[in-house]
Every structure is written in C-alpha cells, then in structure tokens.
C-alpha cells in the first residue's frame, strides 16, 4: 500500500498531510532530487521564500494561499526555529491597482493587515499594504521536512528518476501515486502537459543582518523584493525576475546589477557597508497556464490494465511555499475514499 510522491516542497507537503493523517509508514517519496541537492531541474531550493500577494486572484489561488498562510503561521509559532520559518513584518507595493477580490481575501486572514494611506506611498506606487508575513529559509526548510517525515513519521525515501508516471506503481499494493514533478510535468510520459512552462528568476544571496523586514514592489514588467532569510546568520534574498518561458540556469551580471539597483531604491538601508553580496543564482518556477493542476485521474497500468489513481499536483509557479500546504490538503482530499479503504492501521 504505497503512496508515492516527489521531493520538492509540493511533494513533501503532500507527504506531510498524509503523515499527519497517520499514513506516514505507508508513504514512499521517490525523487531524482532530494533536499540538500541543487539542480536547475529542482526548483525548491532556489526560492526566496515568503508569503506574498504574488499569486493569482482566482478562487483556487485565494483558497490555497489562505490554507498555506494559516499552516505556516501556526508552524512559526510552534516550531519556527527548527522549521526555519519566521513571522516577519512586510510591506508590498503595486504600481497598478491589484484585484480588489485578492486584497479583500487577504485582508480577512493576514495578521496585522493594513492598507497604506495614499499620501504615504512612494512615487509611482498606486497601492500598498502592511502585514505580518512568514519568511522561509527554503533549503533548510526542505531538510526539516525530510527529517520530520523520515524520523518522526516513518516515511520511506528512494532516490530514483522514473521514466514515466506509471513507473511509480512499484507493486500491486501501490494504490495512489501523487505526481508532484514541477517543471518535469511538461515532458514526463503519462503527463505531458503542454500548459506548463518555466518562469526564470535570478536572485542574489547577500549578507545584510541589519535588514529585518520583507519588502516587495510588483511592477508592470518587473518584481523587486527583499526577503530576510530566517535563522541564517543575517542573509537576505534580493530579487528578482519573472521571465516566462526562459529556461537557462545561467546567471547574468546585468541582471545582478538591476537587482541591486532596484532593491536599494526600494530599501535604502541596503546601501550600507554591512551589505555583502555572496552570490547570484537562477531557478525556474514551474508555471502553468490557468494555474496549478490539483486533480485526480483514474488510469490503468500494466498488461492486466489494473485500475489505479494518479493525483496531479504541479504548476505552483512562484507560490509553492506559500500555497503548498493548501494544495496538498486538497490533493489528499481527492482520494479520501481510496486512502480510507487501505487495509492498514492509522499510526497517529
């Protein structure tokens, strides 16, 4: 009775939801890349990461964001230091008015939410908010999730590249496969979703221990952000870029310059002897036209045409950390019947 996933933040959150329901010992994570690895084909370690209004305004995105925020807020309060997540004051600015639905939705649940008075906005900014966000030390949070899953919940991990989704059915006991393959969903046989595309982001890792706030500016053709990296000895992530359909892992000097200029304009405190740029990196957000796909599919595998279930959960774009837990809850809910029917004892 194995349930198989992948090891980005999306797959690990599905494993967490299954483990919290008591199915940890019956869950196996199979992945080519695992926490601790870096690869352009493994997006999760490159994220900022924070909760922000960068996500879309459709009902799915609004729901997943809310579930994700509530989960991260509670994790920061209960186990923030171990999980590398922290409450952080945040300011977000828009050059053009954002959707009212989105702002109203966020206002209903974000801690300390406040709209900034028009006269207090910087030049060129049409709208701004303040709230308490959650910042996440992405590479360390992935390691935390893996450790928690394996050591506390008994989840098994196999490092392996699978040639197709159906290869996840390791035996006749495998009932459900969760397909959380990120950018690979575009090419992976059994998925081959032509709506998927990468959105490249270049970022700078800098040391700036005097910066303790998150700040973002959403422009028409740009995203500029400063995200303190929690429990990291004073590091911050400076960004960024949202380049649709660009898949290069290379980093470019002029993009680093652009990031430094824009972030220093946004947060003049960065212009200090205490700020030291440590490196430039690029990652590919797994984007999808119309938003992420969280849906079950009944398929047949093997010569005998055995009926099994694949649950797709990919296409999180720039929101895998903030929305990942919400997406995982809904992905698992699509197979409640199959999971309840498993012939196992809950280990809660």
Sheet order of strands, 156-159 included: 156-159, 27-31, 3-5, 176-179, 306-314, 293-301
Q: How far is the CB of 93 from ligand FAD (least distance, A)?
A: 16
Applying CB under 6 A, among 224, 235, 319, 334 the residue interacting with ligand FAD is 319
Applying CB under 6 A, among 128, 230, 320, 326 the residue interacting with ligand FAD is 320
Applying CB under 6 A, among 321, 329, 334, 335 the residue interacting with ligand FAD is 321
The interface with ligand FAD within residues 142-171 (CB under 6 A) comprises 161-162
- At 339, phi and psi to the nearest 5? -70, -40
Nearest CB to ligand FAD, comparing residues 158 and 344: 158
Q: How far is the CB of 25 from ligand FAD (least distance, A)?
A: 21
CA 91 to chain CA mean position, Å: 20
Nearest CB to ligand FAD, comparing residues 183 and 334: 183
Residue 44 known to bind ligand: yes
73 touches ligand FAD by CB under 6 A: no
Residue 43 known to bind ligand: yes
In this structure, the chain runs to a length of 348
For ligand FAD, which stretch binds (CB under 6 A), given 28-36, 101-109, 115-123, 302-310?
28-36
CA dist list (Å): 106 to 109, 214, 245, 302, 306: 6, 17, 29, 46, 44
**Stretch (H or E) spanning 281:** strand 276-288
Applying CB under 6 A, among 19, 27, 46, 137 the residue interacting with ligand FAD is 46
Closest CA to 240 of 201, 298, 207: 201
d(CA 339, CA 336): 5
Q: How far is the CB of 292 from ligand FAD (least distance, A)?
A: 9
Nearest CB to ligand FAD, comparing residues 196 and 342: 196
d(CA 134, CA 78): 13
- Looking at residue 35, what DSSP letter applies? T
Residue 69 known to bind ligand: no
Q: How does 37-56 read in b/e, with b if 16+ C-beta sit within 10 Å? A: beebbbbbbbbbbbbbbbbb
Residue 181 known to bind ligand: yes
d(CA 192, CA 94): 35
Q: How does 241-251 read in b/e, with b if 16+ C-beta sit within 10 Å? A: bbbeeeeeeee
Nearest CB to ligand FAD, comparing residues 60 and 181: 181
Applying CB under 6 A, among 314, 327, 332, 335 the residue interacting with ligand FAD is 314
**What residues does 216 pair with on adjacent strands?**
92, 225
235 touches ligand FAD by CB under 6 A: no
Residue 74 known to bind ligand: no
**What residues does 309 pair with on adjacent strands?**
176, 298
Applying CB under 6 A, among 80, 201, 228, 326 the residue interacting with ligand FAD is 201
Residue 154 known to bind ligand: no
Contacts with ligand FAD by CB under 6 A lie at 6-11, 30-33, 42-44, 46-50, 161-162, 180-184, 188, 201, 203, 240, 283-286, 314, 316-322
- Residues at the binding site are 43-44, 181, 218, 225, 285, 318
- Residues at the binding site for FAD are 43-44, 181
């Amino acid at each position: 009775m194995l349930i198989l996933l992948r090891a980005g933040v999306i797959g690990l959150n599905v494993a967490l939801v299954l483990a919290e329901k008591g199915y940890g010992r019956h869950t196996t994570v199979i992945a080519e890349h695992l926490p601790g690895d870096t690869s352009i084909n493994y997006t999760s370690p490159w994220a900022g990461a924070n909760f922000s209004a960068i996500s879309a305004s459709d009902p799915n995105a609004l729901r997943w964001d809310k579930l994700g925020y509530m989960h991260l807020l509670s994790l920061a309060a209960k186990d923030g230091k171990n999980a590398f997540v922290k409450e952080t004051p945040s300011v977000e600015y828009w050059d053009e008015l954002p959707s009212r639905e989105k702002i109203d939705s966020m206002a209903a649940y974000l801690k300390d939410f406040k709209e900034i008075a028009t006269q207090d906005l910087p030049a060129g900014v049409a709208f701004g908010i303040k709230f308490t966000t959650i910042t996440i030390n992405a590479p360390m949070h992935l390691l935390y999730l893996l450790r928690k899953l394996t050591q506390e919940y008994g989840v098994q991990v196999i490092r392996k590249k699978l040639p197709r989704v159906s290869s996840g059915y390791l035996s006749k006991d495998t009932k459900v496969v969760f397909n959380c393959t990120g950018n690979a969903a575009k090419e992976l046989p059994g998925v081959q979703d032509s709506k998927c595309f990468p959105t490249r982001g270049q970022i700078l890792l800098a040391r700036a221990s005097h910066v303790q706030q998150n700040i973002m500016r959403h422009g028409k053709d740009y995203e500029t952000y400063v995200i303190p990296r929690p429990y990291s000895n004073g590091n911050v992530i400076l960004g960024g870029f949202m380049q649709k359909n660009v898949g290069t892992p290379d980093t470019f000097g002029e993009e680093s310059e652009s990031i430094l200029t824009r972030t220093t304009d946004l947060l003049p405190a960065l212009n200090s002897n205490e700020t030291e740029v440590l490196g430039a990196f690029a990652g590919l957000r797994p984007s999808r036209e119309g938003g992420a796909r969280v849906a079950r599919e009944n398929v047949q595998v093997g010569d005998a045409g055995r009926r099994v279930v694949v649950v797709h959960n990919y296409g999180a774009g720039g929101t895998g950390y903030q929305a990942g837990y919400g997406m995982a809850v809904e992905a698992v809910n699509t197979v409640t019947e199959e999971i309840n029917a498993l012939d196992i004892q809950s280990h809660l």
